[in-house]
Amino acid sequence: MGARARKFPFGTGQSRGVMTRITESEIEDAALAWLAGLDYAVVYGPDIGPEGTAPERGSYDEVLLAGRFREALARLNPSLPAETLEEVLRKVRQAETPSLVEENRRLHRYLIAGVPVEVAREDGSMGGDAARLIDFDDIEANDWLAVNQFTVIEGQQNRRPDVVLFVNGLPLAVIELKNPGDENATLDGAFNQFQTYKDEIPSLFRTNAALMTSDGLQARMGSLTANLERFMPWRTVDGAAIAPKGSPELQTVIEGVFEKQRFLTLIRDFTVFGDTGSGVVKIVAGYHQFHAVRRAVASTLRALPRQPGALREDPAPYGLPSVESQPEGDKRIGVIWHTQGSGKSLLMAFYAGQIIAHPAMENPTIVVITDRNDLDDQLYGTFAMCRDLLR
């Protein structure tokens, strides 16, 4: 491993004032250690640079690791000829619009549905196909890599994000870390750093799925278009327990978001783009929406007649009837209790998308009942925005 991985040097309940001896490099090493614990390969950015000991980039303006990308394409698309796969590489590399957000939207579709290609059939005619960029079903069929100190030179700008996460050679996440002992190195500063990166090295963010900031104690996650207010905590690893307030959040966010299966699920099933009056926004579910939907889907499958399966979490500790007393096939899915401003309309759309796509549901009809006319309009707008999920 190119970067030394250390145990995180401070624990629960410590404040910024007592962390003055902790350096940014130590936080970076801890983040890399947690990623390695999730079975990401970890390399030091200069080592794979054009002048490194194991170069994977021809120049510093190359943000896609072409060797890894080609290997993944061949592995995931064994029936497609080499020349077609080279065309896929060209489509991913070549921008079609000057708008970073529109490019991100286009490439997000490629990540989810594959890259449309034409291939010759045995009878000599041409037919349509799609080249997979990611295997969402077999996570180990993908190449997982974390790189620290990844220098990007674009135009006259030279920038070096702290940690970049690659899947099959595609940069899908960027992590920006700040020194908790420096009063001027804040989450706001990390957020502003991302805005600079997007302006000066936008190529790194064309395939981006998540941005994360941390000062060692606090950590926040946001989408490509999220404003500072929308960089939110991710308070649980597996959805079963909420991390105590005041505890360092970096490990929780890394293990909660970037665990391989959760990360791919977040990309495929919990990411939407919406057109607003001020432009396109990208929305990624919060931890409460992500885990509530997954549990609601599990409960739905349990309640479905003749559908085997069970909830992971028994309601009994919450004073509710135990799952053990709820027979399978009873058609009683359950209730999700929302607070105001929690994003319940989006949660409903995410849930609908999961239910529609699940083969056990056999293409169901979903009925939404409201008690106010303004909710009709709100839900219609939300579901229209999420139409790509309702596939």
- For residue 59, the Cα-to-chain-centroid distance in whole angstroms is 27
pLDDT per residue as tens digits for the range 323-339: 666 777 676 777 777 77
Angle of helix 344-357 relative to helix 260-269, nearest 10 degrees, comes to 100
With H, G, I as helix, E, B as strand and everything else as coil, classify residue 42: strand
Report whether pLDDT(13) > 50: no
**In which band, very low, low, confident or very high, does the pLDDT at 305 lie, cut at 50, 70 and 90?**
low
Burial 350-376 (b: 16+ CB within 10 A, else e): bbbbbbeebeebeeeeeeeeeeeeeee
C-alpha to C-alpha distances, 228 to 218, 222, 272, 316, nearest whole angstrom = 14, 9, 19, 38
Look up the pTM and report it.
Answer: 0.86
Angle of helix 344-357 relative to helix 287-303, nearest 10 degrees, comes to 40
> Are 209 and 271 in contact, with CB atoms under 8 Å apart?
yes
Return the residue matching tokens 């106010």. Answer: 372
> Are 178 and 189 in contact, with CB atoms under 8 Å apart?
yes
Report the relative pairing of strands 279-284 and 170-177 from DSSP bridges: unpaired
pLDDT per residue as tens digits for the range 126-180: 788 899 999 999 999 999 999 999 999 999 999 999 999 999 999 999 999 988 7
| DSSP, res 78 | T
Tokens of 117: 């290609």
What are the domain boundaries of the chain? 1-260, 287-385
Amino acid at 234: W
